[in-house]
Amino acid sequence: MNDLTFKEIWETLYNVDVSKHTEEKMKLTYLSWSRAWMLLMEHYPQAEYTFVDYEALPYRTLPDGTAEVITKVQIEGHTRSMALPIMDYKNNAVVNPNARQVNDNRMRCLVKNLAMFGLGMSVFAVWDDHLPSEEKDEQPKDKKTPPKKAQKEEPKTEATEETFDEAWADIFLEATEKLIVIQDTREALTGFYKANKEAIGRLKSNFPEHKEKLDIIFKNHANSLVEESKTNSQDNKE
């Protein structure tokens, strides 16, 4: 039986030199999730991680409209969890995050979670994110407020359009598939499709191959619901 302790895990991972694997962004040092996981696998290849969902959503919404993601990492039976606000590229919390922001921050949270075991803690130790500041206390600029009557809706900017790239399509397809399979009736499935009609239309226009895959997922689940309904009906007759 393995009697490995938190202390031993910490001493092993804290002493891993991550300096050769870091990069600089916005004057801060980052360790990418892929390199962090690669380093972890060299010492604990049986380690596992989990993303925590809330009411079938991949994040927990806060009262002001911002959100946070939660991860859990288990190493040799020892588990630690970590939360991270969903932020944009300037590290500001965002309201109503899109699929790309959710996915990116989940992976950032995973790296932070690994630091709680010691891996890359030297990178986080030089940050002052835990200190209060006027900038961090400001409400997100895109927080929802009642629109002025005379104010027209702002057109989409080029930066907004650029977020709908192939990476967005991949993430949207993956996330939508997970939500499709939990729809337990054809009515719920139809309602889910209508609620996401705008995003699905964007997928059809810009990424037709992704749209075809999504259609197959919808069709297969709809057929499975029909088969399940027939089976239940036959069971009731018997």
- Six-digit token pair at 203? 């997928």
* Distance of alpha carbon 51 from alpha carbon 71, whole angstroms: 5
Cα 212 to Cα 57, 119, 190, 203: the distances in Å are: 24, 41, 17, 9
Going by pLDDT thresholds of 50, 70 and 90, the confidence category of residue 208 is confident
**Where is mean pLDDT largest: 5-19, 115-129, 177-191?**
5-19
Q: What phi-psi label fits residue 65: left (phi over 0), alpha (psi between -120 and 50 degrees) or beta?
A: left
Model confidence, pTM: 0.55
Mean pLDDT of the 207-228 span? 85
pLDDT of residue 110 exceeding 90, the answer is yes
Three-state DSSP at 72 gives strand
Q: What is the pLDDT of residue 139?
A: 56
Dump pLDDT digits (tens) for 180-194.
888 888 888 888 788
**DSSP string of 2-64?**
----HHHHHHHHHTS--GGGEEEETTEEEE-HHHHHHHHHHH-TT-EEEEEPBTTBSSEE-TT
Looking at domain 6-129, its CATH architecture is: 2-Layer Sandwich (3.30)
Q: What is the pLDDT of residue 126?
A: 56
Dump pLDDT digits (tens) for 125-174.
654 454 444 555 565 555 554 444 444 444 443 333 335 677 778 877 88
* Distance of alpha carbon 79 from alpha carbon 172, whole angstroms: 29
Q: What is the pLDDT of residue 127?
A: 47
* Distance of alpha carbon 98 from alpha carbon 176, whole angstroms: 12
Q: How many helices (H) and strands (E) does the chain have?
A: 10, 6
pLDDT of residue 113 exceeding 50, the answer is yes
Domain ranges of the chain: 6-129, 164-237
Residue corresponding to tokens 């650029």: 162
Residue corresponding to tokens 């009642």: 146
